[in-house]
Amino acid sequence: MANTINGIKPGFKRQFSDVKVPVFDHIPEMTPYLTEPKAMYVGVPGKNGYLRLGFELDGEGKSILRDLDRRAPLIVQQELYFDEEMPGMPCVYILSSGGPNVDGDRYSQNIHVKKDAMAFVSTGAATKLAVMKYNFSGMVQHIRVDDGGYLEFLPEPIYPSAHTRFICQTKAEVAETATLVYSEIYMGGRKYYADGELFEYDILSVETEGCRPEGVPLFREKFIIEPHKRSVRDLGCMGRFDVFGNVVVMLPKDKAEEVFAQTQAVNDTSTPLMAGITRLPNDAGLLYKVLGMEPAPVKKAVRDFCSTVRMAVKGHPIPAEFPWR
C-alpha cells in the first residue's frame, strides 16, 4: 500500500485514551434500572465503548478521516471511497466486536466534520438490543459540523428484544452554512421471533438536541416509549405500524425550503407506509418521520428523502443501496 505505514496514512492520528463512562443515573426514566449487572459491571473493559472520528480536508482539498480514537467493542477501520455520485466523500462504517447491546453497556460516539469537509457514516449491521434483567444500555453521541461541512450519519435499524432498556442522547452542533443528515430507525421488536415479539421492551428513551457551535440552542426532541405503561397502538403513537423512522436535517434555510417544497406527505395504504415533514424551530432545518410495517420500505423512504437533501445541497443523489444491505 503506497505511502502508508502498517496500512495507516502519514499524519493519521490513532489514539487509545482512557475515557469516562457515560452516566445516566440522573435521567428520571432510567432510575428503576440501576441495579448492577451480576456478570460484568457497568464500565468494565469491553462494555464501555468509545469512538471519535474527525474528518477534514488534506493539503489537496480531499476529505479524509484524519482523527480516529476508539475503544472496544466499537471498531472503525480506514475510510472508503465507493460513492459513485460523490467519489471524493470518505465513507466509514462503525462495527462492534461485542455482539448485541446487553445489560450495563455504555457507548460514547463523537463525530467532527471540519470546515468544508464531508463524510458518510453508518453502521456495519443493525444494532440488536438483548434481553436485560438488571440495568440498561446507554449511548451518548456528540456530532459537530463546522462551516461548509457536510455529514450523512445513517445507521442501520435498531432491534429491541423483550425487556430491553435503551437510552440514546444525541447533541448536534451544526454551523449555519453546514449540513447534517441524521437518521434513526427503530423496530418494534423481533417481529418474526417465535410467535412474534413486538413492543415488549421495557423502555426506549431517545433525545436529540440541536445547537450552533457557539452554543446557541435551536431545538430539542425527546420521546420516551414504555409499552407496559401505555399502549403504543394508541392514535398519535405507532397505531398499527411496527417500524419508526426519524430523520433530523440541519442545513441552511434556503436549502431547507427547497427540500421542504419537494417533499410530499405519504399515505400509502398498499405498502403500507406513512411519512410527513415539518420545519425545525429557529430555522434549524427539517424533521422527517416515517411509519411502516417492515424495515425495507422505511429504509427506502428514509434513503429517498436523504437523497433529496443531498441533491439540494451537493447536486448529487444518494446511490442505490447495496443489495446485501
Please choose, from the candidates 295, 106, 136, the residue with its C-alpha nearest in 3D space to the C-alpha of residue 201.
Answer: 136
Rg (C-alpha) for the chain, rounded Å, is: 20
How open is the CA angle 80-81-86, to the nearest 5 degrees?
145
Q: What is the pTM of this model?
A: 0.92
Query: What local confidence, expressed as pLDDT, does residue 25 receive?
Result: 87
Query: What local confidence, expressed as pLDDT, does residue 324 receive?
Result: 65
Query: What local confidence, expressed as pLDDT, does residue 263 receive?
Result: 98
> How far apart (Å, rounded) are the C-alpha atoms in residues 16 and 22?
17
How open is the CA angle 50-170-228, to the nearest 5 degrees?
105
Q: Is residue 133 classed as helix, strand or coil in its secondary structure?
A: coil
- Residues in the chain, overall count: 325
CB distance 127 to 159 below 8 Å: yes
Query: What local confidence, expressed as pLDDT, does residue 27 receive?
Result: 95
| Burial profile 246-263: b = 16 or more Cβ within 10 angstroms, e = fewer | bbbbbbbeebbebbbeeb
Q: Which segments in the chain show pLDDT lower than 50?
A: 1-17
* Dihedral over alpha carbons 172, 175, 177, 181 (to 10 degrees): -10
